[in-house]
Amino acid sequence: MAGKAASYPAIPRILPDRKTTHMPGLLQDSLRSLLLAFRNEFNAPTFENFLVLFVGAVISQGSRTVSEMIRACGNLAGKHFTVYHCFLSRANWSALAMARILAGIVINAVPDDEVVLVVDDTTERRSGPKVHGVACHRDAVRSTEKHLVLCFGHKWVVTTILVKFSFAARPWALPIIVTLYRPAKQEKADKLRHRTLIDWAKLHVAFLVRWFPSKKFVLVGDGGYSSVELARFCVNRNAELVGRLRLDSALYAPPPPREPNRRGRPAQKGGRINSPKQEAQSLSAEWHEEVVTWYGGKQRDVKLLTGTALRYVPCTKPVPVQWVLVRDPEGKLRDETFFSTNVNRPAQDIVGLYVQRWSVETTFQELRTHLGIESTRNRVRLAVQRTVPCLCGLFSIISIWYGRHLATNSSALPADPWYAKTEPTFSDAIAALRLDLLSSGIMFKCSKNDKSIKIPKQLWDYACQRLSRSA
């Protein structure tokens, strides 16, 4: 890749042509340790390009195109601009290997042996006949139950890990594995096996179980990821699935004892039993008033109705589940039913786990607002498949760094007198990292031949603070 860059015709340079080998030494210890974990996945020149684009993605405002990243890097981007474009479209590195390292970093921030995963999909709006993987998808943000809105773009299946930071009341959903979903028609044209959203979720779980066999994983998904197929897959791999259940779901009793000397295959299930909706209408229903963790980290009084049953679809083995019907005593909210493949889990925990799923929606919103996930302009296959996963990984790295940064620097908490925040958000995390990079002088390292001036330290601090907060 370096040889190709040297073969291009000379172009006028505004910035000095210098290498970036000094860059790791200029980073703070907490950030350096995070980035050096990925060192073995690159050769030396590619790792330098990785560091430059990392800083550029943090410093950039608005869009996260490669051109904007190297423009924001200033002195650091001393190579030909095509070298940085080739990092995503041609460089030899594995996104899956990077996801494994990132997953290890995030899991280390979870003190418990039980790791809560949240899987969901999001649509990145893109258009263009030459953009790889663009298709027509349902717009989950604009669509409702009665009104369907379609949009062109990429659909990404994202698996995140819930991390409870000491500075936040709600857990943060940090993306670790991100894969592109393509319609069957496109994959058939490329002679590839078609994978549904459920197939990608199964593959993500299989990767994590293989990488971290000592951990107990709990996968949380919405109604689209609450299938019997995914539930059976998780049970077979010693994982747990928590999801949402229809009120009129078909549930079955356990199979009756097999009669002696009876021929044929043993029964897999018993007769059909009442659905959660029918059970709630029954006069013999036993409701329990409980206090559960609700959206926003608040405690809410609800009425719970629980039961155990088998979920079954043809051609699959039945899965035992515990279902929980949640009813608002005041009648303001509609009834909801959740389930878990762990029949011994308390009902309040099932509700609390599913409610935490909403953190992934916050992550998607912050990715669009602060990391420009819909501003990319890549078109070729490899660049498209790498760019969004890299931006999602950047979200996780910044969040982990901010947690470590606050542990040693409590003054980094937002303290604006006119805007009293109850807790920091991702905008504060990325602003703190920008301030850390700008204050360290990494963007403005001058050689002895450069012209330089002295400015007062108060003016320098003020400029760095304003630049870190600009958007």
Q: Give per-residue pLDDT as tens, 293-318.
A: 888 778 899 999 999 999 998 888 99
Are 104 and 204 in the same domain?
yes
DSSP-assigned letter for residue 185: H
Instruction: Say if CB 156 and CB 170 are below 8 A apart.
Output: no
- Of 143, 181, 138, 139, whose CA–CA distance to 159 is shortest? 181
CA–CA gap between residue 280 and residue 123 (Å, rounded) = 36
Within 13 Å, how many C-alpha atoms sit on residue 61's CB side? 7
* Paired residues of 243 in beta bridges: 339
State how far the Cα of 405 lies from the Cα of 439, in Å rounded to an integer: 15
Residues 350, 339 contacting (CB under 8 angstroms)? yes
**Same domain, yes or no: 112 and 183:** yes
Find the mean pLDDT for residues 17-41: 71
Query: Which of 249-258, 279-288, 416-425 is least confident?
Result: 416-425
The pLDDT value given to residue 456: 76
> Which residue type occupies 55?
V
Residues 137, 33 share a domain: no
In the prediction, which pLDDT does 192 show? 93
Closest by CA position to 30, among listed 297, 335, 412: 412
Is the per-residue pLDDT at 70 higher than 60?
A: yes
Per-residue pLDDT band for 253 (boundaries 50, 70, 90) equals very high
Q: What is the mean pLDDT of residues 379-390?
A: 96
pLDDT value of residue 140: 83
Structure confidence at residue 415 (pLDDT): 61
Q: How far apart are CA 404 and CA 392, in angstroms?
A: 19
Count other C-beta atoms under 10 Å from residue 299's C-beta. Answer: 8
182 in the same domain as 80: no
- Identify which has the larger pLDDT, 367 or 260: 367
pLDDT (average), residues 156-164: 97
Query: Would you say residue 115 lies in a domain?
Result: yes
Mean pLDDT, residues 445-466 taken together: 67
The amino acid at residue 416 is D
- How does strand 336-340 pair with strand 319-327? antiparallel
Percent of the chain clearing pLDDT 70 (strictly above):
88
User: Range of 77's domain?
Assistant: 2-92+413-444
Q: Are residues 230 and 111 in the same domain?
A: yes
pLDDT computed for residue 296 by the predictor: 77
For position 111, what pLDDT does the model report?
87
How many CA atoms, within 13 angstroms, populate the side-chain half-sphere of residue 324? 27
Is pLDDT of 448 > 70? no
pLDDT score at 464: 75
In a domain, 45, yes or no: yes
CA 34, CA 43: separation in Å to the nearest integer?
A: 17
162, pLDDT greater than 80: yes
* Residue 430 lies inside a defined structural domain of this protein: yes
Amino acid 20: pLDDT: 41
User: Has residue 447 got a pLDDT over 60?
Assistant: no
pLDDT of residue 29: 72
What the block records as the tokens of 145 is 């139950």
Do 185 and 154 belong to one domain?
yes
* Phi and psi angles of residue 261, each rounded to the nearest 5 degrees, phi first: 60, 25
Backbone angles phi, psi at 295, to 5 degrees: -60, 145
Reported as a single tens digit per residue, the pLDDT across 87-144 is: 999 999 999 999 999 999 999 999 888 999 999 999 999 999 899 999 999 888 788 8
Q: What letter does residue 42 receive in the DSSP assignment?
A: S
Q: Distance between CA atoms of 4 and 91, rounded to whole angstroms?
A: 12
Assess if residue 11 is contained within a domain. yes
Cα distances (angstroms) measured from residue 244 to each of 16, 249, 415: 57, 11, 39
Q: What average pLDDT is seen over the chain?
A: 87
Residue 139 belongs to a domain: yes
CA distance 373 to 71: 18
Scored b (16 or more CB within 10 A) or e, 245-254 reads: beeebebbee
Residue with tokens 């049953």: 309
Together in a domain, 26 and 129: no
Share of the chain above pLDDT 90, in %: 65
Q: Are residues 39 and 170 in the same domain?
A: no
pLDDT given for residue 450 in this prediction: 59
Q: Give domain status of residue 285, yes or no.
A: no
Please name the residues in contact with 445: beta carbons below 8 A apart, sequence gap of 6 or more.
22, 26, 75
Give the pLDDT score at 416: 66
Q: Give the separation between CA 75 and CA 56, rounded to whole angstroms.
A: 11
CA distance 350 to 339: 7
Sign of the dihedral through C-alpha 16, 22, 28, 34? positive
Are 112 and 171 members of one domain?
Answer: yes
Q: Is residue 51 domain-shared with residue 106, that is, in the same domain?
A: no
Which DSSP state fits 177?
Answer: E
* Cα separation values, 344 from 241, 307, 352, 391, Å: 13, 11, 15, 38
CA–CA separation, 390 vs 178, rounded Å? Answer: 9
Please, which pLDDT band fits residue 15 given cuts at 50, 70 and 90?
Answer: very low
**Rounded average pLDDT over 345-372:** 95
Task: Decide if 262 is inside a domain.
Answer: no
Confidence of residue 78 (pLDDT cuts 50, 70, 90): confident
pLDDT at 443 (0 to 100):
62
Residue 86 shares a structural domain with residue 112 = no
The 10s digit of each residue's pLDDT in 172-222 is 999 999 999 999 999 999 999 999 999 999 999 999 999 999 999 999 999
State residue 5's pLDDT score. 41
Same domain, 117 and 85: no
Q: CA-to-CA distance for 224 and 119, rounded, in angstroms?
A: 10
DSSP H or E segment with residue 218? strand 216-220
Does a structural domain hold residue 132? yes
Structural domains counted in the chain: 2
DSSP letters along 313-327, please? -TTS--EEEEEEEEE
**Range of weakest confidence among 15-19, 190-194, 418-422:** 15-19
In angstroms, the CA 394 to CA 118 distance is 18
Segment holding 171, helix H or strand E: none
pLDDT for 1: 39
Q: What is the predicted pLDDT for the residue at 314?
A: 87
